[in-house]
Chains A and B, each alone.
Chain A
Amino acid sequence: MKKSHRFYGHGIPRIKPEDLGGKLIVVEGADGSGRSTQIAHLVDWLETSGRPTVQVGLKRSTLVSEELEKAQHGNVLSRTTLSLFYATDFADQLENIIIPALKAGFIVLSDRYIYTLMARDMVRGMDEKWLKNLYGIAPEPDAVFYLSVEPEELVQRNLSKNATLDYWESGMDLGLAREVFDSFLKYQGAMGEAFRQLQKTYKFEIIDANRSVNSVNKELRKKIGAVLDGE
């Protein structure tokens, strides 16, 4: 398999990007965009066709996931702190899961990646340059798919699933609106905007995910198939 990864910035001490084989596939999108469902289908498809896969996602590190969860519950951390805490969580999974898996030639499916973390911080007024330096540790994925869903449709999907809108996914910490419903729409609109801004630097494909699970998955498989064939 061709080994052809590179880091966005300074990378990780003592890791040579040339040693990273495998494929890194990222699926981005808001809660309710169908990310997890799509990834589950992709894993089925890949493993059935005999390819080893590994899954990662935000807030899943051994090192800080518990503490991060606690901090979010109490809403006690300030902006830079939360941002660095998430970066720690990402770095821990990067070094302990993503990099070893790529070295072993696995297909890594990442349920969100640095782009969500950057977009969230940009919406909260953090400096884009600072974020780019911070996430210079990340390897450039082989493909990034952003599942784009209209905020109005996201509201419907989230409410039908949970009967409530999540505090953070509604950006309630920003004080955009008094009601969570209005805040959700405004926040998701701003997040979409931040993703479009990031797309200028970090090329990702925008997938129209206002469609059925199957038709979205078909498109993803076709595109991922092309990435894998290009080995």
Chain B
Amino acid sequence: MKTFAELNFPGRLIAVEGLDGSGKSTQIYLLKRWLEAEGIKVYFSEWNSSELVKSATSKGKKRELLTPTTFSLIHATDFADRYERHLVPLLRAGYIVLCDRYVFTAFARDVTRGCPPEWVRGNYSFAAQPDLTMFFKADLEVSLNRILEGRPKLKFFEAGMDLRLSTDPYESFKIFQGRILDQYLAMSQEFNFVIMDANERVEKQQILVRKLVSERIDLKQFKRRSPLPLPPSLRDEREDKEKEEDKAA
């Protein structure tokens, strides 16, 4: 699996992975806000969000029609749609693409559900490797608590109820998440995950995220030539900065 940089794409792809409740979505959202404010061409894509495929997925989930195989294939379809229609053109156009979950989510979940790893990986083999993958590793208890705190109604597939691990959704969720975590950790070296300590404070993690991203990617190459209009609060800040830069020049 080659990275987008190795394949000579002008753009770069950054992915975050982790269990539900690991805080990865918050981190990538804050990263996106920062990059936007810096005037960088950035696009955000979320797992399971392609419009067309989504209606089939939610029908399948609601009516509990999905098996491990169809669960895997329908998510692969969703991913392929976003990959072919958004990710690839944007990366060709020199964007920084941020992905909340990438193929590794499928590698971990589908294999936990019993799909053969070679089959799942083969199906996703059209996708290149991210240029940076951050894995948000929280103690299992911490991420479970974040999700289960309010005793929400867990959805059937979310809780892994299709695996018949337990008749209690909370118990099932715990076992299921534990197994997914094992899968993630087993592939972390192979796919160069950068492990982030997700037990830390959000602000502190974000400082590390931004530092890591600016070390790994030469961000100034990804600036818009003509900046998009920003909300006034950020606009002033940017204008000040530009003035300073002009002065320095």
Contacts and interface: CB of A to CB of B under 8 A. Distances in A.
Interface of A: 9-10, 12-14, 62-64, 66-67, 70-71, 76-81, 83-85, 87-88, 91-92, 94-96, 130, 133-134, 136-137
B118 interface: yes
A62 B65 contact: yes
Top 5 nearest A-B pairs by Cβ distance? Answer: A78-B84, A13-B114, A133-B122, A10-B116, A84-B77
A83 B81 CA distance: 10
A13 B69 contact: yes
B217 interface: no
Interface of B: 52-53, 55-56, 59-60, 65-70, 73-74, 76-77, 80-81, 83-85, 113-116, 118-119, 122-123, 125-126
B73 to A, nearest CB: 4
Given A63-B59, A78-B84, A80-B84, A9 B119 contact: yes
Nearest to A133: B122
B123 A133 contact: yes
12 contacts: A13-B115, A67-B55, A83-B80, A84-B73, A85-B53, A88-B74, A91-B70, A92-B65, A96-B65, A133-B123, A134-B122, A137-B69
B51 to A, nearest CB: 9
A134 B116 CA distance: 11
Given A91-B69, A92-B70, A70 B119 contact: no
A136 B85 contact: no
Contacts of B53: 67, 81, 85
